Amino acid sequence: MALDPGTLEQYRLKLRYKVRWHLGSSCPDVDDVVQESLTRFLRAVQEEKIRKPESAGAFLSGICNNVIQEYRRGVSREAVSNSDTKTPERAAAPETDGLELREAIAVALSRLPQRDQDILRAFFVEGKSKEEICLSMGLSDGQFRVALFRAKGRFRENYYREVKQK
């Protein structure tokens, strides 16, 4: 079964509409769900797992339904695990001076992988635009969003750990 770029683009647009319908238009991971659905579909096409090529659209829709359900389970799992962890009411006590705060930030940042450090420094400290960071690090827009989100989460965990120890 051969797919031309026009057909793939039509599938992508229809999937995007479907995912936005099911997850909401404000969901930040719409493009990720669409991409995962298309990836699984193309893998199935390469491995010739589609029994009826004339029903490729329905097959893709089924794959998309599965990816949407996996996404929802993952989000609900994260929400439960995040509510179990007790976050401090304040990141730093009022009597903490600027030097201790800077030290906690430096330690939390140093525990991150180098890529996370580079992204966070460029975006928050140096004030570079998303486009500049993507160009310098060779990232697409979607990859940048995911990398920034994960880096902020890892930093937050390290920072709270550091503050608790003091």
Pick from 153, 146, 139: nearest CA to 36: 146
Pick from 89, 107, 94, 88: nearest CA to 159: 107
Is the domain 98-165 a CATH 1.10.3720.10 member? no
The total of other beta-carbon atoms located within 10 Å of residue 141's CB is 11
Pick from 26, 114, 120, 23: nearest CA to 75: 23
Architecture of domain 5-84: Orthogonal Bundle (1.10)
Number of residues that this document lists for the chain: 166
Cβ(29)–Cβ(47) below 8 Å:
no
Q: pLDDT value at position 166?
A: 64
Share in percent of the chain as helix, strand, coil (round to 5):
75, 0, 25
How would you write the pLDDT of the chain (166 residues) with one tens digit per residue? 778 888 889 999 999 999 999 888 888 888 999 999 999 999 999 888 888 888 888 999 999 999 999 998 888 777 766 665 555 554 545 555 677 778 888 888 889 999 999 999 898 888 888 899 999 999 998 999 999 999 999 998 888 887 777 6
Kindly list the domain boundaries of the chain, sorted by start residue.
5-84, 98-165
